[in-house]
Amino acid sequence: MKGLLYKDFASTKRETCICALMCVIFLAFAVVTGSQSVLAPTIGIMIAFGAMSPTYSLQYDKTSGWNRFISASPISRNKVIFSKYVFGLVDAAVFTLLTMLANVLTGNALSYLWLSAVLLLILALQAIMLPVCLKLGQNAVAVIFMLLVFVPIGIGAVLYKTGIIDKAFLDSISAAAAAASPVLLFGMLAVAAALLYVISYLLSCRFFQKQEF
Amino acid sequence: MITTMKNAIDLRGLRKEYKGFTLDNISLSLPMGCIMGFIGENGAGKSTTIKAMLGLIGKDSGEVLLLGKDPLKDRTVMEDIGLVLDSGFFPPEMNAKALGTALSSIYRNWDSAAFQAFLSRFEIDPAKKVKEYSRGMVMKLSLTAALSHKAKLLILDEATSGLDPIVRDDILDLLFEFIEDEQHSVFLSSHITDDLEKIADYVAFLHKGKLVLSAEKDLLLDSFGILKCSEAELQSLSPTSVTGMRKSEFGVTALVKKYELPARYQVEPASLEDIMLYSIKGKRQGKEGL
């Protein structure tokens, strides 16, 4: 496992540096301008990178031929997939920390609940992206990610514009969330994300077992 | 079911079907301490056989035992198997030093000193990235990795293809050293028959997914010969003694079983390449091949 994780970090150094550079640029822009409006896109970028990074590793292994080598090694295919999910967890933690940093540096520190929500959202997106990458490839990951981001926004916009949902309804949702116990809310989200992650892992193992190299 | 450890490799009835190609009933054995050359033309199914052996592709039927164990059921056997494939399989962005660090956690018997020694022997710069290596250096790095975890069986798939004669000779020398103690075995697929003639103890010949023959190399080379004669003379020979023939403007050239010919015929030695060519392209008195 150690060797696999070391390989993942060593071989994706270039992509990691590019991601880090983009994060630094966004952070610097937010700090220098003092603009709060940059925060939301910055958080969005962190979530996107956090969700997609493990899929780069999967794709890299496919194109470099590493999958052929590791599938003929003493490491089982399930362990290879497990290492990708561990890589994903580390990734999610790093990008959540960067999100926290972005907010602290712009004087808009997020609560632990909100930061946890960012972490769980990254994990939930990874849980969808990883098996998609294994089954359909990296191009499908990009398409699915766009659909996951824009379809809910689009549906929400259509519902709002047609009056099916209105401001009062949205206010009632916010009030209900504010009234709910943060711990209970976080607990429910954490359980949902964990369940999704486990199902995703099992699905990824199944897809990877069937692959031929 | 075969349980002996006398053989490094046992394949029994291995079959894999694709649309348009079938690897059909491959059965062969490689005794411990020997080198087997696996020859065949491009597209014969050599790589498919090796991939099925290693579990890289599924098999439709048949049994595979490597060092006495089924690699699909007991993954620990892969600790003792070193692999070199026709194209590199290491991440292009890593260098040899980082690769050694990663592999040391993958193989229990990883020998860092041996890895360093082979890197020096092959003049591989440990700080240089894999993507900056030539094909020859990539093959040498793959071989370095394969030899650095105390493997008992080396499996090489077209590892010397596309390499210059000096690099190929280096690799062959290394393989000779590897089997010196008779506790190690090598399974080497190639269509460069000259290499196999130099080092192989056994030869298995694959053609269009079928195993045409599997025999001791010296016995094979001793059994066959090249006969140059007229068509009329060839017709007078027993059909079973002629394996394949090719017409030339001066007569015919035939691959023959030496010991089935009358003593008066002058037969030249046949090479593995001759055996392969005449078996595939030669016509045996109206029929093709062996």
d(CA A13, CA B148): 26
Q: What is the pLDDT of residue B80?
A: 96
Q: What does pTM read for this prediction? A: 0.85
Our CA-based measurement puts residue B78 at a distance from the nearest CA of chain A, in whole angstroms, of 5
d(CA A206, CA B254): 53
Q: Is the pLDDT of residue B199 over 80?
A: yes
Question: Residues A11, B93: contact at Cβ < 8 Å?
Answer: yes
Decide: helix, strand or coil at residue B131.
helix
Q: Is the pLDDT of residue B132 over 60?
A: yes
Decide: helix, strand or coil at residue B288.
strand
pLDDT digits (tens, 9 = 90+) for B273-284: 988 888 877 755
Q: Is the pLDDT of residue B286 over 70?
A: no
Grade residue B59 by pLDDT with cuts at 50, 70 and 90.
Answer: very high
Q: What is the pLDDT of residue B38?
A: 95
Radius of gyration, CA atoms only, chain B: 21
Q: What is the pLDDT of residue B112?
A: 95
Task: Please tell me if residue B72 touches chain A, with a CB cutoff of 8 Å.
Answer: no
Q: What is the pLDDT of residue A113?
A: 75
Q: Summarize the confidence of residues B106-134 as an average pLDDT.
A: 93
pLDDT tens-place values along chain A, 213 residues long: 888 888 888 877 777 777 778 777 877 777 777 666 666 777 787 788 888 888 988 988 998 889 999 999 999 999 999 999 999 999 899 888 888 877 777 776 677 777 888 888 899 999 999 999 999 988 899 899 888 888 888 888 888 888 887 777 777 777 776 677 777 878 888 899 899 999 999 999 999 999 999
Residue B49 CB partners (closer than 8 Å, separation 6+): B11, B14, B23, B26, B38, B189, B206
Average of per-residue pLDDT values in chain B: 89
Q: Is the pLDDT of residue B93 over 70?
A: yes
Q: Is the pLDDT of residue B5 over 70?
A: no
Q: What is the pLDDT of residue A186?
A: 82
What ipTM was predicted for this assembly? 0.84
| Helix, strand, coil percentages for chain B (3-state, nearest 5) | 35, 30, 35
Beta strands per DSSP E along chain B: 7-18, 21-31, 35-40, 61-66, 81-84, 153-157, 185-190, 202-207, 210-216, 224-229, 242-248, 251-257, 267-269, 283-284, 287-288
- Interchain CB contacts (distance < 8 Å): A and B: 84
Using DSSP bridges, classify how beta strands B283-284 and B267-269 pair: parallel, antiparallel or unpaired: unpaired
Give chain A's contact residues with B (Cβ, < 8 Å).
1-4, 6-7, 10-14, 60-61, 64-66, 68-76, 212-213
Q: Which residues pair with B24 in a beta bridge?
A: B210
A3: nearest CB among B54, B75, B105: B105
pLDDT digits (tens, 9 = 90+) for B151-169: 999 999 988 887 888 888 8
Our CA-based measurement puts residue B142 at a distance from the nearest CA of chain A, in whole angstroms, of 10
CB contact under 8 A, B106 and A72: no
Q: What is the pLDDT of residue B3?
A: 46
Decide: helix, strand or coil at residue A40.
helix
Q: Is the pLDDT of residue B289 over 70?
A: no
Report the b/e string of B48-57 with b at 16+ CB within 10 A.
bbbbbbbbbb
A72: nearest CB among B54, B91, B98: B54
Q: What is the pLDDT of residue A115?
A: 81
Q: What is the pLDDT of residue A151?
A: 87
Q: Summarize the confidence of residues B66-72 as an average pLDDT.
A: 94
